[in-house]
Structure 1
Amino acid sequence: MKKDKQYNCYFELTLDIVGGKWKPIILYYISINKVARHSELKRFIPSINERMLTRQLRELEEDKLINRKVYPVVPPKVEYTLTEHGETLIPILESLVKWGTSYANSIGFNNFKMEI
């Protein structure tokens, strides 16, 4: 989020922070596992490229939705966890999953690589 940006409403602000294709998936995965590493996220979201994953993680960290902890070891070990603000999004994401499940069932769609 850019603090000097002008928003028309809170919904627009919210979508600016957590909208897009990848951020909700990243947040949801971290919420399920409590802690996630870059390589785990990449395995969970194989269609995201390295650059985009890194960018999305940085933005989520800048917006204070995730914490990034770097361990001083070789090779470097980095773990991501949700912040308090990030945790408050989880019920909303779970509602979206529930809605998606209901919708998929109602139209007979069941073409998933994996379900969580």
Structure 2
Amino acid sequence: MTRPAALAGAVDDALHSGVPGREPLLREALGMSLRAYRADKNVTLRELAKQARVSSGYLSELERGRKEVSSELLAAICNALDTTVAELLMEVVANMSLHSIQEELATTSPAAAEA
């Protein structure tokens, strides 16, 4: 699995900039990954929406984590981004797991104990 360049920092920053201790919702993490994949492919929101046969407004809501995505639409979006649903979901899970580990380390580290 190749991690798109845009995912390197954008998703990590976004996942960790929320409320401390709150794990991101799946729809939020999925939206951030979709946006990062799209940016990595240099595809505009309108272009992707047209290829996936969805409105650009709805796609924007998905990328912002405000709407849930159906499996059919997710497959169409992934196809338009030249990736698979499985690859995207593995990336989302990896990012969410990393967030959980970092939160745990932040609360159990010696520096956190001194605070």
Indicate whether the TM-score tops 0.5.
no
Report 1 or 2 for greater relative contact order, CA contacts < 8 Å, sequence distance ≥ 6. 2
Relative to its length, the structure with more strand (as a share) is 1
Relative to its length, the structure with more helix (as a share) is 2
TM normalised by structure 2 equals 0.37
